[in-house]
Amino acid sequence: MQKKQLHGILRQFLCTAYSERYFVKKLRLTIKAELDIPDDWELVTHNDNITVINLGNGKFLDFDLLPMIAYSLEEGAIWNTVPQELDAEIMDMVRKMESKLNLLLN
């Protein structure tokens, strides 16, 4: 095999490896929250077969993963939604997502 051919194969492999992102770590993110909500909010099943909160006035709320980004580790850093390109890249990394809403009665 000539050096030029080897270089081409290596370059193609590296481009493919970068684009397919050979990940070696797996991150499991667990989010649990309890909210005090108005009495008139209720859980309903949306036509998309997901449980959502009926806020009234034709508004339905679903909780999902929203990546946030800061550019500093300092206390009081400003957090914003991630740029669209990074958001798309992060969402492409998600292999499984599950959320569950339960109404807790006092």
Strands (E), the chain: 42-45, 51-56, 59-61, 68-69, 80-81
The pTM (predicted TM-score) of the whole model is 0.55
Per residue in 66-101, pLDDT (tens digit) is: 788 888 888 888 989 888 888 888 888 888 888 788
For residue 104, is it within any domain? no
What is the pLDDT confidence band of residue 5, given thresholds at 50, 70 and 90? low
Domain that residue 87 falls in: 3-93
**Domain count of the fold of the chain:** 1
Residue 60 lies in a domain: yes
Decide if 99 is inside a domain: no
Domain annotation covers residue 102? no
**In this predicted model, which residue has the larger pLDDT, 104 or 65?**
104
Domain-located, residue 28? yes
Q: What is the pLDDT of residues 40-75, one digit of tens each?
A: 999 999 888 888 999 999 999 887 777 888 888 888
